Amino acid sequence: MAEGQRAALTLGLSPSAWASVQKHAEAGYPNEICGVLLGRAGEEALAQEAHPCANVNKDRARDRYLMDPQEQLRLEKDARLRGLDVLGYYHSHPDHPALASATDNSLSWEGVHYLIVAVWNGKVTDRKAWWRDPGGTALKERLVQIV
């Protein structure tokens, strides 16, 4: 989150960003997929872009993800150069609800949106956004909208 910005209560996704997440999640099924959400931070965060990253967790790809650190760094640098913020990250839960798991919670960072997409039998069925307040100990659900 950009310095001095308050936490957005809503995560907005552009139609093209949402379409990219859906396509990636369905194509990656039955494994978890992951990616980076780029846009503008503020009271109404809007993810204008969703960029897929490789899940380098090959041992437990069905129920865990590990974003390729080189891809993540490249996307974050590119965002900075283009005046965009890294609003957060997304990943899928194959054949599970879009609820933050204990693993999701323990690995989350403060001040970052996490979009979780439920994929059942290869089709996206739900989406939920999550956020950890500075100093918070658990992810809290945020409203997510296509805008």
CA dihedral of 43, 109, 16, 53, whole degrees rounded to 10: 160
- CA dist 8 and 61 (Å) reads 31
Q: Which of 32, 44, 76, 110 is catalytic?
A: 32
The DSSP 8-state label assigned to residue 8 in this structure reads P
Active site includes 110?
A: no
Q: Which residue has the tokens 């805008």?
A: 147
Active site residues: 32
